[in-house]
Each structure stands twice: as C-alpha cells, then as structure tokens.
C-alpha cells in the first residue's frame, strides 16, 4: 500500500514540481519572527523619515532588526507597547546586545489589536559594539502591563480583555556576523 501511495505521490507531485507541505498549525497563539535588516533596507528606513534613525551617538551605527508579532490564533489578540521606549518592551537573550533608546516627546503606551493571521512589525535599533565578530541571539517581546501605581493603569484595565497578551514571546534565533 505504501509503495502505491509513494508511486502516486511521486508521479503527480514530483513531476509537476509541486510538493505539498504537510504541517500542523502552530500551537502558539502568538509568534515573533525576527530578521536582521540589510544595509539597503536600513537606507529605506532612513528614507521613510523614521525620526530616530540618526539619533544615535555610537562609534558604529546600530544594527537594525525587524520583529514581527504574528497572531496565529482564530481570535483577536491585543497587546500594549510603548510608542518610543521599545527598550522597555523588547530584550535580547545576549547581554552584549541591547536595544537602543532615543529621545521622544510623546512616549505613552499604545494599544494594538491583531486580527487572526495579522502581524505587526517593529523596527528596532541594536547596539552591538561590545560583540565579538559574531553572535547568536533571540529577541524577546514583553508586552507592557502597568502597575496600579502607574498613571496608565486605569486606561489599561478598562481596555484589557481576556485576549490581552502577557508573558514573554521569544523570536527565532538570529545570527549576527560583523563581516
């Protein structure tokens, strides 16, 4: 029986170049995909007039990473993130790599809502000046959750729902090479 199925599979799919992917749906309601940006993509960020792009006084310019928060569930997922203080919401698992911060006159937590299969991208500047030539690391997203003493707590508690994200969400592994 297996030989018949394999023969049928190989004849139909392999001859056409179409190979089906049999994958189970993600068991995680939220995933974080991260990727390092190329120098060309960094120039495009600058062209979009991202206000903090040239705001860093490092001997080396920052390395930029795009982090996508993806809703894999069948429900709307909600989270809060700072408008400017990405370094409060994002971390790395490598102590030599930090998320850079910049001056901002309108920093406040923002509410995001992701529909099923929807993603939200964040572009983050990383300080890698203390690294050797290469390093592997993960990005970690920790949604903003105010304390009762925080001025945003009342707003957050009114908007929070059973679909609000909490905890840590780790990305795929990134491989940074200086050269």
- How confident is the model at residue 114, as a pLDDT? 93
Q: pLDDT by residue (tens digit) across 76-97? A: 998 888 888 888 899 999 988 9
Cα–Cα distance list, 17 to 13, 84, 164, 166 (Å):
6, 47, 42, 43
The answer to whether residues 106 and 80 touch, using CB atoms and an 8 Å cutoff, is: no
Give CA–CA dist 138/172, Å, rounded: 6
- Please tell us whether the domain made up of 26-177 is placed in CATH 1.10.4160.10: no
Give CA–CA dist 10/4, Å, rounded: 10
In sequence order, the 6+-apart residues with CB closer than 8 A to the CB of 80 are 109, 110, 111, 112, 143, 144, 145, 156, 164
Q: Within 10 Å of residue 94's Cβ, how many Cβ atoms?
A: 17
Q: pLDDT by residue (tens digit) across 47-56? A: 664 555 555 5
- For the chain, give every domain's residue range: 26-177
The pTM (predicted TM-score) of the whole model is 0.73
């Amino acid at each position: 029986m297996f030989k018949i199925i394999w023969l049928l599979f190989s004849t139909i799919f392999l001859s056409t170049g179409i190979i089906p992917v049999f994958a189970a749906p993600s068991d995680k309601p939220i995933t974080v995909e991260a990727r390092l940006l190329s120098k060309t993509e960094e120039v495009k960020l600058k062209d979009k007039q991202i206000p903090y792009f040239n705001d860093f006084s490092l001997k080396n310019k920052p390395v930029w990473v795009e982090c996508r928060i993806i809703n894999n569930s069948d429900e709307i997922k909600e989270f809060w993130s700072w408008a400017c203080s990405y370094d409060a919401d994002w971390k790395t698992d490598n102590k030599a790599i930090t998320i850079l911060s910049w001056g901002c006159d309108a920093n406040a937590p923002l509410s995001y809502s992701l529909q099923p299969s929807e993603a939200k991208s964040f572009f983050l500047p990383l300080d890698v000046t203390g690294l050797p030539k290469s390093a592997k690391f993960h990005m970690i997203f920790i949604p903003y959750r105010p304390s009762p003493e925080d001025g945003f707590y009342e707003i957050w508690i009114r908007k929070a729902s059973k679909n609000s994200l909490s905890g840590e969400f780790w990305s795929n592994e990134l491989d940074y090479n200086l050269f």
